[in-house]
Amino acid sequence: MRIVFHGEDTAPFADGFAALLAGPAEIALLPAALSAEADRRTYAAAQVVVANRFGADVPAPRGLRLLHAPAAGTDGLRLDAVPPGAAVCNCFGHEGAIAEYVMAALLARCVPLADADARLRRGDWAYQSGDPARAHRELSEMTLGLCGFGHVGKAIAAGARAFGMRVVVANRTPPAASPLFDRAFGLDDPAFWSAADAIVVSLPLGDGTRGLVGAAALGAMRADAIILNVGRGPVIDEAALYEALRERRIGGAVIDTWYRYPSASEPGPLPSALPFHELTNVVMTPHMSGWTKGTIDRRRRLIARNVQRLAAGEDLENVILPKRG
Amino acid sequence: MRIVFHGEDTAPFADGFAALLAGPAEIALLPAALSAEADRRTYAAAQVVVANRFGADVPAPRGLRLLHAPAAGTDGLRLDAVPPGAAVCNCFGHEGAIAEYVMAALLARCVPLADADARLRRGDWAYQSGDPARAHRELSEMTLGLCGFGHVGKAIAAGARAFGMRVVVANRTPPAASPLFDRAFGLDDPAFWSAADAIVVSLPLGDGTRGLVGAAALGAMRADAIILNVGRGPVIDEAALYEALRERRIGGAVIDTWYRYPSASEPGPLPSALPFHELTNVVMTPHMSGWTKGTIDRRRRLIARNVQRLAAGEDLENVILPKRG
């Protein structure tokens, strides 16, 4: 099997890949640019391409049998350029990491470890047991709202349930009743937004979700509730979020997905044109929630499994476009 | 029923207690000192005493039927002073809160929220997905060791399992096989100490446990492993812990239970005679892990339930000494 990892961002998955295959394979890691003739020839001969971008600049390999995104998002793949003999698959495997990130952020709000530590180092026993005024909060007293109930939402629900949280969900397709949640709402039901102490947005970005969380949704939230975004930045309206935080109309935010990202011309931008970085009621992280060694390992193993299945003529996992010829 | 809450530290449980009882009751909250004659008379007439201290200074009420500690620890109750007609009960209800504290501390080590936030505010996208060198850790890659496997250990194990952690336990009585752990060790088996990435001590303090975690146990730990104490401070040898941290022979510590506590004469002491507060590889908290509104509520409800059961002639919960006459 001739396998090409195309683009520098696929390198983490190429590393150690050969060892996961039972049979022999020719594995090449090619730069995104393909400026060398040899690289273009290798690309053109690929039977498997692992890439986040496909079909825009380079002709598709004629003998392609599998195009595999090493991520969940496939908006960089031009599916109309995929030869009919090739299937297209994507990867999950980040949902456990994102659930850990979300629970870390929620627990950090309940258990004031950093403040308690700073105080005790100077002999201040704030938070000590005995006086009810010093008691901290428990997750088990709280309701979690999940805006989006796919792989990620379900993994977060499982974590929340382990701590006895009440869970409500909002999803386009009403989910089947499950022990993972107590109540389901439609995505456009305003009652969802007032039903939770913390709301996690894990929706993908699409025509129906851009700006879906706007002034109305934020305005319906409880005054002390927080919102977390681990989906895509623009699902939450940028200006509406900034205003809700600046005017302290909600309890706070934990934002991992943003409105501006580093680029070659601007490697270290602030993540929004609005001064979120001047606010004290937001935790700002750089699109890191799913990025763990565990995620990389799980994705690398899934891609290898699919290559093995392809070689054996078996059904592939995570197919988003089957082969058509 | 004549119910006395004795001592200022029982006030959180007296607050709102009457509303939890079905029948009428005379409820009094008395100071620890009992310097007023009227207070001594009320105490002497009690049928139920809720207290953390009993039998040392004041004669036991003759008609006592139930002595209820509002905590798990009963080392302040002189059981030989309890009249034969009275049962003694204690409270748990803090295990869920302690599990949240432990998971908060473990997740805080994996997910660097504070550092990521500080960096992104100045345009530094450290930890961003894409580069494997920026990946953070997942709990699911780690093994948790539980030194002590009672109420608290089991609640922590349930939380750890929700994140896919491997769990090993060390307990005096070998626990029955359970989905909560993968392997059990004896308390004195040195192999336990090298088997985990994080070890939580939740043992009570007693003759067999004082200093049980000493230089040998700490020396057997993995070089990057951390130790957490939510049991009682002196279960871990003070000097051995300090030296292991100062010499960075272990990865760090999260210490909630200490060697020195506030007293009337010294309300804000440092929690050890040794300068733990000068170390950067320890998180120091003031015996707060179980102290939540949830814990207070659960204990108040348990005490009320036991008063109801006593009135109805039913078996009590959490009996540590049954009535003997």
Is B137 in contact with A292 (Cβ distance < 8 A)? yes
Q: What is the pLDDT of residue A206?
A: 82
Residues of the domain holding B204: 95-284
How confident is residue B131, by pLDDT bands cut at 50, 70 and 90?
confident
How confident is residue A174, by pLDDT bands cut at 50, 70 and 90?
confident
Is the same domain home to A139 and A45? no
3-class secondary structure, A228: strand
Q: Is the pLDDT of residue B28 over 90?
A: yes
**Mind telling me how many Å the CA of A260 is from chain B's nearest CA?**
11
How many other CB atoms are there within 10 angstroms of residue A318's CB atom?
17
- The answer for B 167-226 residues in CB contact with A (under 8 A) is none
Spatial CB neighbours of B5, under 8 Å, sequence gap ≥ 6: B11, B13, B14, B17, B27, B28, B29, B30, B50, B51
Is the same domain home to A11 and A102? no
Q: What is the pLDDT of residue A113?
A: 98
A295 neighbourhood in chain B, CB within 8 Å:
135, 138
B146 contacts B181 by C-beta, under 8 angstroms: yes
Structure tokens, A31: 């730069």
Is the same domain home to B81 and B164? no
Distance, CA of B232 to CA of B98 (rounded, Å) = 13
- The answer for B 111-150 residues in CB contact with A (under 8 A) is 111, 113-114, 116-117, 119-132, 134-141
Q: What is the pLDDT of residues A280-304, one digit of tens each?
A: 999 999 999 999 999 999 999 999 9
Q: What is the pLDDT of residues A84-124, one digit of tens each?
A: 999 999 999 999 999 999 999 999 999 999 999 999 999 99
Closest CB from B117, B135, B163 relative to A100: B163
How confident is residue B98, by pLDDT bands cut at 50, 70 and 90?
very high
Is the same domain home to B83 and B181? no
CATH number at residue B148: 3.40.50.720
Q: Is the pLDDT of residue A73 over 90?
A: no
Q: What is the pLDDT of residue B51?
A: 97
Spatial CB neighbours of B98, under 8 Å, sequence gap ≥ 6: B152, B155, B156, B202, B230, B289, B290
Q: What is the pLDDT of residue A14?
A: 96
Is the same domain home to A166 and A233? yes
- With a pLDDT cut of 90, the percent of chain B lying above it is 91
Helix axes B95-110, B293-312, angle to 10 degrees: 160
3-class secondary structure, A309: helix
**Mind telling me how many Å the CA of B215 is from chain A's nearest CA?**
24
Q: What is the pLDDT of residues B236-260, one digit of tens each?
A: 999 999 999 999 999 999 999 999 9
Q: What is the pLDDT of residues B34-51, one digit of tens each?
A: 999 999 999 999 999 999
**Mind telling me how many Å the CA of A176 is from chain B's nearest CA?**
22
Q: Is the pLDDT of residue B188 over 90?
A: no
A314: exposed, middle or buried (Cβ count in 10 Å: 0-12, 13-18, 19+): exposed
How confident is residue B73, by pLDDT bands cut at 50, 70 and 90?
confident
Is the same domain home to A190 and A275? yes
Q: Can you tell me which residue has the tokens 């009440």?
A: A166
Is the same domain home to B41 and B188? no
- The answer for B 276-295 residues in CB contact with A (under 8 A) is 277, 283-288, 290-295
Please give the average per-residue pLDDT across A54-62, as a whole number. 90
Range list of H helices, B130-285: 151-162, 190-193, 215-220, 238-246
Is the same domain home to B123 and B254? yes
Q: What is the ipTM of this complex?
A: 0.92
Is A129 in contact with B288 (Cβ distance < 8 A)? yes
Number of domains in chain A: 2
Q: Is the pLDDT of residue A188 over 90?
A: no
Is A294 in contact with B159 (Cβ distance < 8 A)? no
Task: State phi, psi for A95 to the nearest 5 degrees.
Answer: -65, -35
Closest CB from B126, B162, B290 relative to A286: B126
B319-321 vs B87-89, strand pairing mode: antiparallel
- CB-based contact, A99 to chain B, within 8 Å: yes
Is the same domain home to A113 and A203? yes
Q: What is the pLDDT of residue B130?
A: 87
Q: Is the pLDDT of residue B156 over 90?
A: yes
∠A14-A17-A23 over CA atoms, to 5°?
135
Spatial CB neighbours of A102, under 8 Å, sequence gap ≥ 6: A156, A159, A200, A228, A230, A289
